[in-house]
Chain A
Amino acid sequence: MLSLTLSDISVSYPGLATPALEIDRLAIPAGAHVAITGASGSGKSTFVNIVTGLERARQGRIDWSGTDIAKFSESRRDRWRAEDVGLIMQDFHLFPGLSALENVLLPARLSGAASAEIIGRGHDLLKRTGLQRPQQRIETMSRGEMQRVAVARALLRKPGVIIADEPTASLDVESGEAVGSLLLELAGQEESTLIVVSHDTRLTDRLSRKVTFNMGRIVSDTGRMERAA
């Protein structure tokens, strides 16, 4: 379980008048389930890129349980992300030609981390996501099933935090609901911190805290209000 503390974050892109993301301070305690919402272009994906180390923060601190990944080199961030972050993306990013299980194991295999234990866990996770056939080719699956494979993949190495960027945006309502439930359930079972970026209120309403972005800034945070009250 990881906690996150952001301070003095500011990300600007050339050609943009205001920063794409500007956060003075944001704290997410270990084990929290947090929704990040906001209109399109409000900086949500930029937030994900920064906190997962996909993009380099030029200023500020990104403190995960005492480790400031802003100071890490690119390779170091890659390694940290591989071990500690379970990432789920809107377009699944699964690889056709491989089976469900092979897709779950691929990143671990490429990192040389696919021990017998990890492979066993892959089987187990696929079962827990409700998929019966681990050998089924990924391209023959429905979109809802695909996203469940992606969830199993994200959880494979017992990450301290699960971060999902619009996990239901390319799914129909029913599959979206199922994937949302699965995420919440597994994050609880695995005792992972969960950050879900979404503007799907059916999903965000199920999380205990909601942080809303607008034009790169946090405009509301139910967690902070609760604490203030």
Chain B
Amino acid sequence: MLSCKEVSLLTSKSMDTTLTRRERLAVHLHLLYCRGCTRFRDQLQFLRRAAQRSSKTLSAGTVRLPAAARDRIQAALRRER
């Protein structure tokens, strides 16, 4: 029987690669009776959706390139041209 620590690692790994048949079966059996690991799996999928959205949300954010850096970069570009 796998522990929650092992199953949480396999669940995470399954987001990045294909598990072996044996691993998949072991995880499946564990999730049948483990509420914590089932929530963990769902929340990992949420984290993925959130991360994908964050890359859009944050690139549409209001943070601006600081003025001093802008001047410095402008000067570097002028030197290069």
A binds B: no
Q: Which chain A residues have a beta carbon within 8 Å of chain B's beta carbons?
A: none
